[in-house]
Amino acid sequence: MNQLRDIGALKADNEARISSKVGIAKKHGISAVTLWLYASNGK
């Protein structure tokens, strides 16, 4: 369940366009590539 909440937070940050995708990845402690993988897999 924690992973779903984290993905929801990533999605919310991305939709808000508060910072770049790299900035969002750094904020959540993941790599930009991991963020791209989540986004490209539609999760």
Nearest of 8, 41, 1 to residue 24 by alpha carbon: 8
What pTM was computed for the model?
Answer: 0.55
CA distance 36 to 33: 5
| 1-43: pLDDT as tens digits | 455 567 777 778 777 777 787 887 888 888 888 888 877 876 5
Cβ atoms of 19 and 13 closer than 8 Å: yes
